[in-house]
Structure formats: structure tokens, C-alpha cells
Structure 1
Amino acid sequence: MRVIPVPCRSDNYEYIIVDEKTGTTAVVDPYDPPKLQAAAEKEGIKLGQYLLTTHGHHDHAGGNDKTAEAYPGIKVYAGGEGVPAVTDVLKHGDKFKVGELDVTAVYTPCHTRDHICYYVEDKAKDERAVFTGDTLFISGCGRFFEGEPHEMHAALNEKLAALPDDTKVFCGHEYTNVAFSQKVDPENAAIQKLVKFCEENDVTTGKFTIGDEKQHNVFMRTTSPAVQKATGTSDAIKAMGVLREMKASLDQACSRREGAFELRSEPRLTRFRCAQNKG
């Protein structure tokens, strides 16, 4: 399995998944179809078989219609009927193939009601990846626009956490909540390691695994003493809600102090000073 991240907008990712054995491809969240096509041509691969949509927000599904028009007959997978151009609505646990890659739908409602993560296995190469849209970010998670803390807890700490630890994480945005994670759990060695990585690298998507997230993502550590101390509760679901409120307060404070547009144009500022995460 080969994964080609294609940056778009200020901090989004769309992806091309390639089954190297058969040449079959799938695109994930094609917001900017021309960029995807240019990337495919550069890599010498063909698109047009499968489209995987994590959720219906415009910055993820906004290119679905144009992609479907460009590739008649393309299969468009999503978690709800309201997603543009959808041909196949998925439920939790539904499976399908992209060439010889095995894909499993992981239903993760909270950011939106229709949110699906895609777990992809290349059994021939013993490789795994998960495309998490706006549910899971590196050391963070998306806002609860259409859900409650118990749903994000289930999404992160029951469903995604159950995937093999060596599953690579490919997020919908280049968001990394280092500043917030440090504030919540300042003594965590895994978070300090992530800080060092972000100081030296601009890209985090695909560089970390589910196992890593269990160590440096405070939203996946709601049963840890440090997170429970920071949130003032030993209840994991309540801790999830408190963390989200703390994160929102930090975002608001940073917006007032720095200016949201300035922050969005400076990725490293978002990592080390305010770590805004609009999802």
C-alpha cells in the first residue's frame, strides 16, 4: 500500500491510496480534484475507481461532485445520504476492497453525524493505515459540532484505539496540538518527543501510529492520572468534555491575542503557541 498526501487549502489533506499490486486507487476527501489529478499524473497512476469521504463538510466533500463528473461510474463511499455524489452509504464495520486492499468503515459520529474513518489493510505487506478526517488529529481531536463527549470517547478510545498499534494515522488536517497537550500533561515524555519532532518537521500526518496517539494524545488518555488531575474528574467521559472545553477556551484566547487569520497562516505558531484546531 502506498499513500500519497496532497495538501490543499491552508492545512487540509486529500489523499490517494494505491494498491501497488493491482494499481487500483482510491481518493480520500477530494476537496481540490485538479490537485489530485496533477499528483496522480506526476506519480504515473490513474484515478477514478473509488472515492472515500470521511464527512460532509465542504473542505472534505466539496470536490465530490466534480470528481464524480470527471470519472463516471466511480464508487463514492460516505456515512450519510447527504454527502455529495454518494453512491454507497456505509455503516460501522462495513467492508469493501480497493484492489487487494481491505477497507473497513469505522463509524465515528461526533464532529458530524455522518463521520466515517477508513481502516485500510495491506495484508500482503502487513501494513495498516487509518484515515481519520476530523475525528482524530495528531495529539488532538475535532470539535464536537454534532455530538457529545461520550461519542468522541467511543470514537477515540473504543473504536480507533482498538485498531492495531502499528496502524499509521492520516488526518484530515495538519493540526498538531502540542501546546495544548503540554499544558494538560507537561511531564509526559511522549509529548516532549512530539514537540521535538514538530520543531524539526513540518508534516505530521502519516508519521505516527495509533500506538503513538495512545501515548501523546490527551484525548486518548482520559483515564491517565495526569489528564484526570488536569480535568478535575476521574470519569473518562466527563474528562473528554472538560478537555474539549479547555481546548476551546485556549483557542478563543489565542484568537483574541494573535488574530485567527494570522495563526492559520503560520502552522508552527498553531503548534507551539496556540494550537488552534477548528476541525
Structure 2
Amino acid sequence: MVAVSLGVLALCCLCCCLGLLVLVQRRLPGASRLPRCVMARTEKPFFRIAYSLYTKTRLGYLFYKRQLKKARERYPHGHSSTQAIVFSGVKVVPIPVLSDNYSYLIIDTASSLAVAVDPSDPIAVQTYLEREGLTLEAILCTHKHWDHSGGNKALKRQYKSCRVYGSSNDDIPQLTNPLTDREQITIGRLQFQAFFTPGHTVGHMIYLLDGKSGDGPDCLFSGDLLFLAGCGRMFEGSAQTMLASLDTVASLSDNALLWPGHEYAADNLTFAAVVEPENTVRDRKFQWVLQHRLEKKCTCPSTLGEEKEYNPFLRTHCQDLHLALDLQRGEDEEWSHFRARILEEVRRRKDLFKGR
């Protein structure tokens, strides 16, 4: 009898939460970007329920499929116009998917081998592969969220020898090659290094393409860890955990190109002006981004050197930001603890400013 009651309760909970998800999507501006917007606009109990359902049950996958269908109808050619970047023998292709995501293809042009990063729309990725006569050799998945991993199964079915890389700490669909921190990945002439960067999810990873692969700059595929002028929400980690992950990024070359998982540049730079209104570097970048977004152009990539100048989530060490937030280091407070407190405050204000 208890088991039956629990089963009925679970079923009712699933139905109610699905109804709430649909209701919020219809009523709230921008709610098509769930689960982020729902989580930012509700109390913690519902957050935990919604997030658990999204990440641990089939409900999340069904919701992703619904969003994918709607995005294909609304943006038949993608939400933004993009342009590939070509180095010597290496091509990086941003593919706009869903309502604001980016997947990426990194191509060894000599062998026609391709690597996909976070291919959430398998049709969009496969269309490009077939048009260019490419073979999908590997998928690099930054984390488990469906808007980054949802296309793994379909692409693995189409390209049976394709390997799927990611962290075993996340439930990556179709994972074949679990990675450890700083592990090397070689695909043709393409050389990647994986970095373990938890915080957004417990197993989030980022991937650095060695610029020597194509006689160009390093390329960082950052998933939902770092965006242009922003960072991901701390769904499964503390501020200290996220700070350590962001410090991993900050240790990389300033010349590295940043290829993030979402087109959030305009909103992020608007918020950056609130927390650091005197930052003139941000002002110049904002004008450039506004022009690009008016023309529906992709704002990727930036460089890590640029991000350190205007991204508040990479500036927790800067006194200007401390003063702007009106936060002071305690007399006996460790520097890393103070920086984590700064990060937590910036994230809190960003969540209130806009649910991304």
C-alpha cells in the first residue's frame, strides 16, 4: 500500500511539474530557455524539483525535444548568422542551435575528420557534415544538460565509430570515453586537452584546442562555464568550486579564442555595466556587440585577454570590482575565501538581474 501511494505521489508530482513548466513557459518572457529561467524565478523547493526532473528523468528529455522542435520552426536557419574561422588545416564552425545555444564542429581539413562540441541538434550538425563530406570522429560533451548533450544518441547511431568524450561524474548520454582532468585527446591532427571544471554541474568539462594543430591561437570550448562577459549558474557547486574552475580558465593564454555554449553577450555586458559602470573596455565591447546583434550576427569568439578586462566573473581579484560591490576583505579572511564571496555576490546580483 505504501509503495502504491508513493508511486501515485510520484506520478502526480511529475504531472504537476510538467504542467508548471508549460505554464511558466507560456506566461514568462524568455521562458523558452528553460530550465534556466524557471530556476531563476522560483523558490528553492521548486528549483530542486524542476532541476531534478530535468536532469534525472525522461521528463527533461521530452522537454528538450519540445524546445528543439519549436526552435527549428522559429529559426529554420539558426538563431544567428555565423562565420567559420580557418587556420592552417583546421576549421572551426559555430552552429547556432535551439534558441541561443552554439554547437561547434572542429575539422581537420586534410583528413576530413570532424569533432563536434555539444551537438544538441543532431540534424543541424549532420546536415553540415554531409554537405561538406565529413566524417564525425568524436563528440566532446561539456556537461549533461540536454541542451548540450541531447544530440549524442542520434549522432552516435548515424556514426557508429564516433567516440563520445566527457566526465563520468556527469550522466553524459552515450559516453564511451570518460575523461580525467587535463587528459589529452588526439583526433587526426587535432590536439585537445580536457579540463575538469565543476560548478555549473558536478562533472562539467571544457576543451582546449592546441593552436599548434593549425598554426593559430588556442581555442577554448567552454560550454556553460564561461560566456562572453558572463559565467554559468552554480547549479551543482559552491562559489569556491566555481572560482577554482574560473581560475583554471584564467591561467590559460590571453590569446586563446573563447567559444562559449550560448549567445548571451548583450545581456551579460548590460549587467557588467551595472557592477562596473566605469569600465571603458566594456563600453567599447558593448557597442560592438549591439551592432552585431542588431544584424543577428554571432558574437563569438572573444579572447580570454578581453574577458579578463570586462567579465566580472573573471575579475574577483580586482579592487575596482570590490569597491563597486561595496565589499571588503575581513581582517583574518583568506584571499581565496574573499574572492569566492565576491563571486557569489556577483552571481546573486546577476540572477536577480536576468535569469541566465
TM-score calculated relative to the size of structure 1:
0.86
* Cross-structure match for 1:80: 168
Q: Of 122, 132, 152, which aligns to 2:222?
A: 132
* Cross-structure match for 1:219: 313
Give runs of aligned pairs for residues 231-242 of structure 1, distance below 5 A: 231=325, 232-234=327-329, 235-242=338-345
* Cα shift readout 1:67-120 (whole Å, capped 9, x = no counterpart): 111111211001126210000111111001121121000111000011000000
Matched, 1:7 2:93: no
Tell me if structure 1 keeps the 8 A contact 2:198–2:205: yes
Q: Distance in 2 between matches of 1:90 and 1:160?
A: 18
Q: Distance in 2 between matches of 1:213 and 1:22?
A: 34
Give runs of aligned pairs for residues 88-107 of structure 1, distance below 5 A: 88-107=177-196
Distance verdict in 2 for CA 1:184–1:238, change over 3 Å = same
Q: Distance in 1 between matches of 2:128 and 2:344?
A: 39
Q: Post-superposition shift, 1:55?
A: 0.2
Q: How many residues align?
A: 251
Tell me if structure 2 keeps the 8 A contact 1:170–1:205: no
SS of the residue 1:49 aligns to: strand
SS of the residue 1:96 aligns to: strand
Matched, 1:179 2:288: no
Give, as a single letter, the amino acid of the residue that structure 2 aligns with 1:147: G
Q: Of 259, 273, 283, which aligns to 1:170?
A: 259
Distance verdict in 2 for CA 1:55–1:205, change over 3 Å = farther
Matched, 1:71 2:159: yes
Tell me if structure 1 keeps the 8 A contact 2:198–2:242: yes
Instruction: Provide the aligned C-alpha RMSD in A.
Output: 1.4
Give, as a single letter, the amino acid of the residue that structure 2 aligns with 1:230: A
SS of the residue 1:106 aligns to: strand
Tell me if structure 2 keeps the 8 A contact 1:100–1:122: no
Q: Post-superposition shift, 1:204?
A: 4.8
Q: Distance in 2 between matches of 1:170 and 1:7?
A: 12
SS of the residue 1:18 aligns to: strand
* Cross-structure match for 1:47: 135
Q: Distance in 1 between matches of 2:194 and 2:352?
A: 33
Give, as a single letter, the amino acid of the residue that structure 2 aligns with 1:207: P
Structure number with higher helix proportion: 2
Give, as a single letter, the amino acid of the residue that structure 2 aligns with 1:79: S
Q: Post-superposition shift, 1:237?
A: 1.2
Unaligned runs of 5+ in 2: 1-89, 330-337
* Cross-structure match for 2:83: none
% identity of equivalent residues: 33
* Cross-structure match for 1:193: 284
Distance verdict in 2 for CA 1:205–1:169, change over 3 Å = farther
Q: Distance in 1 between matches of 2:285 and 2:130?
A: 34
Report 1 or 2 for greater relative contact order, CA contacts < 8 Å, sequence distance ≥ 6.
1
Unaligned runs of 5+ in 1: 252-275
